Amino acid sequence: MQTPLDYARYDRIRPLRWTGDVLEVLDQRGLPFAVEHVACRGSDEVAEAIHDLAVRGAPAIGIAAAWGTVLAARGVSAADGGQALAHLRPAMERLNAARPTAVNLAWALERMRRRLRVSGADWRDALQDEAARIEAEDLAANRRMGELGAAMIAPGSGVLTHCNTGSLATGGFGTALGVIRAGVAQARIARVFAGETRPWLQGARLTVWELQQDGIAATLIADAVAAHLMKTGQVQWVIVGADRICANGDTANKIGTYALAIAARYHGIRFMVVAPSSTVDMATADGDAVRIEERDPGELMKLGGVRTVADGIQAWNPVFDVTPAELIDALVTERGVIERPDRAALEYAFGS
């Protein structure tokens, strides 16, 4: 019988803290050297924190937007939830526009709308209750996914991950990093490698720091090293998260994920996508229909605030790419594991 995970040891970080009056956001832009919180007292401040990457990661963005809706309600006078929704719509639209690729953002806001539509005079309490539920359900889902994903990994394996998919990106424990936490705790994972993740360096600044807090040794690599690492035989799995999973199993995730999937397939390394069911978007047929967010090209022109590119140079800065379903060996959600995901499998698992 498997020993239960010691979550007190492997689940120490929270990116969001609701105080009852303020949403405190752990400012990920300053990590790992400055552990500071941004105090959001209104929904527009939450939208700004999402857009400016103070909070990031698809589940965490959705949770933040839910609490942002609670904050937006502070200035609304309405007899019931239906009336309140009409007043809250502009604020919710601004929250939704902050990061367009992560489906969890729209999903969380739709949950808040549904709760409002059926709420009476207690609609404020109902909003706060729904936001708390979204956060708690995400933590429970992550722990379940950690157990499911780790069970697929043979003892002594090495894994490579990309971007940050841990507690910082979720309600706690993490998606892909939750699988890694569980795998380390169960002695299934012996080696952890993390790509740096240019240009915002989420892997270098966040993932290896987060693992360090839990006493998990991780080796940082430059993004360009990944294929060579695979060739050495030191990794048996690539484990990543997702910002949107389409109806056919195509997956949008941090830029660079697609290249890892191609390299993994060539080297015979298995590729796992880990995300809550809220990330599955059955309304988006395939990856071609995903809107890929493009950010300021200037982000590519400096490192640590120091400009590294000559004046007059142009740059292209898409921040997500799409991995085709045929390159994914396992899709893990809290509902279970889908091996070799395709349209039929996702329809069976997530169709209405």
As a whole number of angstroms, the distance between CA 130 and CA 273 comes to: 27
For residue 247, the tally of other CB atoms under 10 A from its CB is: 20
**Does 243 qualify as catalytic in the annotation?**
yes
Sole residue written with tokens 């949770």: 63
CB distance 16 to 25 below 8 Å:
yes
DSSP H helices in the chain:
7-10, 43-51, 58-72, 81-96, 103-117, 123-150, 176-185, 202, 208-213, 226-231, 257-266, 343-350
Residue 19: Cβ-neighbour burial (10 angstroms; 0-12, 13-18, 19+): exposed
CB distance 18 to 67 below 8 Å:
yes
Q: Which of 138, 243, 281, 321 is catalytic?
A: 243
Residue 18 has φ and ψ, to the nearest 5°, of -95, 120
Distance in Å from the first CA to the final CA of the chain: 36
240 strand-pairing partners: 273
Q: Give the catalytic positions in this structure.
A: 243
